[in-house]
Amino acid sequence: MTAHGGTSRAMPARAGYIVANLVDGVVAPFRAPRGAWARRLVPAWRRFAPYVPLVAAAIAAAMVYVDAPMVRAVDRLPRGVIAAFDEVTDFGRGVWPLTPLFVLLIATPVLDMPRLSLMARGVVTAAAIRLGYMFVAIGLAGLADTIIKRIIGRVRPSDLGPFAFEPFSWRSAYASLPSGHATNVFATLVAVGAVFPRARPALWAYALVIAASRVIVSAHYTSDVLAGAAFGAFGALVIRDWFAARRLGFYVGRDGAVHAMPGPSWRRLMRVAAQLFGK
């Protein structure tokens, strides 16, 4: 009887603790930045403003000189090459990075239990912050792209040519610029690469293959992919600045640049797992 009553009381307490962790995790990124580090921050839009004309010029040049010739070149590729890229191109959809990040992110409030040591709870919190950054950076970049491309209304590669537009069209056939897949993979490159620098070579390979695949399968023009790559990378940097101003996973150095905070090591993560599963 006593054991049953103890269990009954423990369940609401545990549920309340999980809810409190969830609320704290959602609220933390929206807290006002404080401290001298926030004032030192040089935001991404200011750091990269000098490069905006160069990126815009590259996209415009691609529209004029590259898009149409590239469509004709792709038509001459062997069918086997196109089929191979058609198999991999869907791995550029946002669901691929976002689903595992979401599952892990939702799991962290459950794992961060009172019976863990203070050090272990700090490890879980640090992991949750980094998961949250990656999820928000990739997800928001993809969401913004979905809206912007439909406002621009550029027609996908067709007989109409690269200068056919129907602004404010919400049809997929008129949602070519910027490329959503390119936005996703380059946001993933920057966001995941900021947390796991050693993964950057593999992330670069992933991003470039997916970006190329969108042109090869005739889903986008080259300029669409360039615009998507720039938009996704920039979006991930903007979110990184947001987290850094609140000292969530990143911090602002004396020079105003953003740096990643040291994350939990694999050994510490294994120790937390041992505590969770009673080993």
pLDDT at 32: 84
pTM of the model: 0.91
* Torsion from C-alpha of 98, 32, 47, 151, nearest 10 degrees: 50
What is the C-alpha to C-alpha distance for residues 77 and 128, in angstroms, rounded to an integer?
45
* Torsion from C-alpha of 219, 220, 225, 228, nearest 10 degrees: -80
pLDDT at 45: 87
pLDDT at 278: 62
Write out pLDDT tens, residues 182-239. 999 999 999 999 999 999 999 999 999 999 999 999 999 999 999 999 999 999 999 9
What is the C-alpha to C-alpha distance for residues 251 and 230, in angstroms, rounded to an integer?
24
Asked which of 69-73, 258-262, 263-267 is least confident by mean pLDDT, the reply is 263-267
pLDDT at 17: 60
Q: What average pLDDT does the segment 243-265 reach?
A: 89
Task: Give residue 204's Cα distance to chain centre.
Answer: 14
3-state secondary structure 75-92: HCCCHHHHHHHHHHHHHH
Do the beta carbons of residue 270 and residue 55 sit within 8 Å? no
Question: Whole-number mean pLDDT of the chain?
Answer: 88
Contacts of 77 (CB under 8 A, 6+ apart): 216
Of the candidates 129, 123, 116, 174, which has an alpha carbon nearest to the alpha carbon of residue 148?
Answer: 174
Cα–Cα distances (Å) from 268 to 104, 106, 124, 182, 196, in that order, read: 17, 20, 10, 35, 16
Do the beta carbons of residue 221 and residue 172 sit within 8 Å? no
Q: What is the DSSP letter of 117?
A: -
pLDDT at 92: 97
pLDDT at 125: 84
- The more confidently predicted of residues 23 and 90 is 90
What is the C-alpha to C-alpha distance for residues 15 and 76, in angstroms, rounded to an integer?
60
pLDDT at 1: 41
